[in-house]
Each structure stands twice: as C-alpha cells, then as structure tokens.
Amino acid sequence: MSKIGFDFTFENIEKLADMINEKELSEITIESDDAKICIKGKKCPPPMPPMPMAMPAPVASEAPKADAPKAVSGNVVKSPIVGTFYSAPAPDKAPFVTVGQQVNKGDVLFIIESMKVMSEVQSEFSGVVKEILVNNADPLEFDQPVMVIG
C-alpha cells in the first residue's frame, strides 16, 4: 500500500464527504503518521423483500363442487365473531360435541379464540349434532355456519 500525503483541513474533509455521497460509498478511512480520519456515508436501506408471486386464479372447471351451497335441514349454529375454531377445551381433551351427540340449549358446543381471548359458544337449540362444517383450528368469519343441530 502506498502512502499519500493528506492535509487534514476542514475543506479537504468536506470534499471527501461529498465524494462518499456522490459515489455512494459506505465509508473511507485515511491515516497518516499522526492522524486518522474515517468518514462514513449514509447507510443504504436494506433491500426490499421480494414480492410474493401471485397465484393464478383456478380455472372454473377446477373449482371443487363442495363450494356450492348444500341444502341443510336443521338449525345452523353460526360463528358470532371472527376467530379460530376449537372443538375442545384443550388439545389433549375430548371435543365438546361430536356428530350424532344429543345437545341441550345452553350446552357449550365449541370455543372461538379471538385476539387471545377464548369465548365459549353455547347452543341456542336442543337436538342432535348432525354435521360439523369446519375443522379444528380453522379460521372463522363472522356469521359463518359452523355446525347443524337437528
């Protein structure tokens, strides 16, 4: 490495700073026998994460037939809030209700977790659980049908 003479004046330091900005350098260090100066440029922002690829829309012929509304006979229990459906009080516990089980008005049917709050949903009907329309840990929308009681 060869040494160059450098006059540590304010004007020369200012020229170095301008050069760093113009050339978009991260830093430059100059050292002599009795002095050392390190000028750092603006830090470049981290690169933007790549945009996720858009998934192509399914072709109409590929659409599952299950999306068509089914004729439901019985009382439909709907989600009273947006959240996550849980069929049991804990992962290692039995579900509150199963298909074919008799329930009475006021029985707990399932739990919805919304904003870290667990809310029990009680039956408004007495009857037999005919169908459970969602799976454990599925997200629920407001007023989404969850189960049928006949």
Q: Where are the domains of the chain?
A: 10-40, 74-149
pLDDT tens by residue, 7-20: 777 787 788 778 77
Average pLDDT over residues 72-93: 90
φ, ψ at 72 (rounded to 5°): -110, 125
Domain spanning 74-149 has what CATH number?
Answer: 2.40.50.100
Instruction: Give the mean pLDDT of the chain.
Output: 80
Compute the distance between CA of residue 135 and CA of residue 87 in angstroms, rounded to an integer.
8
Kindly list the distances between the CA atom of residue 25 and the CA atoms of 19, 20, 64, in Å, as whole numbers in the listed order: 8, 5, 56
Kindly list the distances between the CA atom of residue 137 and the CA atoms of 58, 75, 112, 140, in Å, as whole numbers in the listed order: 25, 23, 9, 9
